[in-house]
Amino acid sequence: MFVLAPEMTNAPAGALSAGQALAAQDPKTAKRAVAARSNGRLLDLSAPAAPEAELQPVLPGEPAALEVLRHSTAHIMAEAVRALFPGVKVAIGPAIQDGFYYDFAYERPFTPEDLPAIEAKMAQIIKGNQPFQADSWDRQRAREFFAGRGEQFKVELIDDLSEERVGIYRQGDFVDLCRGPHLPSTGRVGAFKLLSVAGAYWRGDEKRPMLSRIYGTAFFDKKELARHLALIEEAKKRDHRKLGRELELFSFHEEIGAGLVVWHPRGMILRTIIEDLERREHLRRGYDMVSGPQLLKRELWERSGHFDNYRENMYFTQVDEVAYGIKPMNCLAHMLIYKSKVRSYRDLPLRYFELGLVHRHEKSGVVHGLTRVRAFTQDDAHILCRPDQVEEEILGVMDFVTDVMALFGFDYTLELSTRPEKSIGSDQDWERATEALSKALQASGREYEINEGDGAFYGPKIDVKLTDALKRSWQCATIQCDFTLPERFDLHYVDADGGHKRPVMLHRVILGSIERFIGVLIEHYGGAFPLWLAPEQVRVLTVTNRADDWARRVQQALKEAGIRAEADLRNEKLGAKVREAQLMKVPYMAILGDREVEERRLTARLLSGQNLPAQGIKDFIAHLKQEATEPLMRLRRQEASKPGV
RNA sequence: GCCGGCGUAGCUCAGGGGUAGAGCAGCUGAUUCGUAAUCAGCAGGUCCUCGGUUCAAAUCCGAGCGCCGGCUCCA
């Protein structure tokens, strides 16, 4: 049994702890506090309060409090696991976005069947309301302590720390290396649930041991937990893999292969709508449409650096003794188009756009629905420009992104990724490219984060992460700055002074992968697409077969007006037809019974269940046309009709 | 690729060493019925694939393929 150290960091006798200091300010609030904040740093309530420092309570409701709670719950889980599974070694257990996890090494991996017992033990620990006691040891002592327990992961963590003294937390007989802070006691955990188990490499490195990870989440009260679990349920309902099958959009087949999408009629029309919009918008913004082949000689991939840096993601084949590679990116053909004639500085920028199908060999464990596939279509473009045009071009792309994200109702965040370990090009080029991107980011006035070492192998990039209706984030658009490929392919233009200069290349996508984007869209809208995207916009429903003739005429009139309309003339009750149209999330039903036949009208029903007053075909079409105008088009029309334009 | 779970009818799922079941969907018939399921009958399966154990395998074992949750990677 572990005995408490004499050098506790708890407030020494006579001095005020942070909790006591807060209580002196406002006893009621101090009771609710889970930690304290002093000069922006989080402290345990038991920590000594520096008398001159400003002290604020960290209260339930703010993100930092949830983080403390979840981190503490991770410790409680570790205590429970140690108690239930003797010999288990603990690794790390942080709070994460929606909960927490803890990694363990045990003689066997944990399974979902283990979770109820761990939960029960945790509930017991929480009921025991043990205090979290903070301490600070010198590293040697901590190292010996954990080494003595056989906790080799903790020893490794201590060895990597530079501080002379390390934080130690204890609750019950569980002692952990930890920065803190923690809840005052285990009883403050209001509600928690263990969610899943998974394998995870020690420190995320596939060459190191595979540990057994348990995920869970925690909240201050049961209602919040229930709300969170309901959100997980909602996400399951919106899962694009499920909706894709139910709405007959696409399918996957074991016979075809993992990560290879088959588009059905309803999914293909959705793609076509989006792709048409893309073509139109790219042409409007000064891009040219181009297209390259699927198969290019391996030699070319060697020249571009893809063979050295991207080979494990590529498929290769041989044709008449010559080695070929299937394209994982579209840039090579675009560069050869550029090279096909002498370019003047006046020609630049050149913007080559291709809806290009690329194949990438993803590891078998990572393919996932439409969001991670092995063949996908990029709305790809390569902008070749003069160095002095780079910033403006990047801003142009960002403007494009802003418009398109608004069109679908997505919010987004920006990230700048810098040079990775595996990369080509000179330090100077990387510096110039990174500089160009960050200048454009600053000029855009939007905030952004920096991801060190996360760039493409040929250049740094700006990633756009959109946020969907369920507040999840997805990477779609990316802008990459490349000084290297123009070099390798010896691209140049004739400058004003007659000299040959090197153009800069920007790789960029707006939606990224059409497949992934549609997957995201399906979940964003929960399958209920806005009228302009809906594969089937109207379903004509008859009450009895006396309305069949009128129904056929209505459907035909709608089709002639360019509306995607189907008719359900089956000998079924209206309720059954409504139900099916509802399940397929068809935005409008046109209901025809004896009354409508008599008056040559129709009654429109919305997905919400609301009925519009009976109306004639012309009025209905006008109504649909108005609503179905794709929003960007509507915007353009408004702009065009402004006086003085 | 790695760790764990899983693969039974088109879909959702039950069964679990003695030769396969339900609901929905499909087909046929009856019903003409106004806003989320009309009734009845019929048909539908190499129980993912290959190999092994066994008198006997959908069931147990091994390998492969695929799916799911993660790690890693990324559009």
**Residue A131: inside a domain:** yes
Average pLDDT over residues A358-384: 94
Residue A644's pLDDT is 61
A507 flagged as catalytic: yes
Give the integer Cα–Cα distance in Å for A19 and A31.
8
Q: What is the pLDDT of residues A13-32, one digit of tens each?
A: 557 788 888 887 888 888 88
Q: Is the pLDDT of residue A1 over 50?
A: no
**Residue A31: inside a domain:** no
State the residue range of the domain holding A176: 69-231
Closest residue by Cα to residue A76 from A174, A157, A145, A4? A174
Residue A634's pLDDT is 72
Closest residue by Cα to residue A520 from A365, A376, A408, A364? A408
Average pLDDT over residues A277-283: 95
The residue among A167, A202, A231 that closes a domain is A231
Interatomic CA–C1' length for residue A257 and nucleotide B46, angstroms: 20
A264 flagged as catalytic: no
> Across all residues in chain A, what is the average pLDDT?
90
Annotated active-site residue in A133, A378, A537, A615: A378
Strand B bases contacted by the protein (CB, 7 Å):
1-5, 7, 11-12, 30-38, 65-75
Average pLDDT over residues A506-521: 95
The residue among A231, A255, A275 that closes a domain is A231
Of A34 and A500, the structure prediction assigns the larger pLDDT to: A500
Q: Is the pLDDT of residue A164 over 90?
A: no
CATH at A586: 3.40.50.800
Same domain assignment for residues A89 and A227: yes
Q: What is the pLDDT of residues A565-611, one digit of tens each?
A: 999 999 999 999 999 999 999 999 999 999 999 999 999 999 999 99
Minimum-distance residue to B1 (CA–C1'): A363
Interatomic CA–C1' length for residue A220 and nucleotide B55, angstroms: 62
Interatomic CA–C1' length for residue A113 and nucleotide B15, angstroms: 22
The residue among A197, A231, A265 that closes a domain is A231
Q: What is the pLDDT of residues A537-551, one digit of tens each?
A: 999 999 999 999 999
- A34, A199, A313, A349, A512 from A328: Cα distances, Å: 51, 29, 8, 25, 13
Task: Report helix, strand or coil for A193.
Answer: strand
CATH at A109: 3.30.980.10
**Residue A16: inside a domain:** no
Q: Are A298 and A307 in contact (CB under 8 A)?
A: yes
Give the integer Cα–Cα distance in Å for A592 and A614.
10
Residue A55's pLDDT is 81
Query: Number of folded domains in chain A?
Result: 3
CATH at A283: 3.30.930.10
ipTM metric: 0.94
What whole-number percentage of chain A has pLDDT above 70? 97
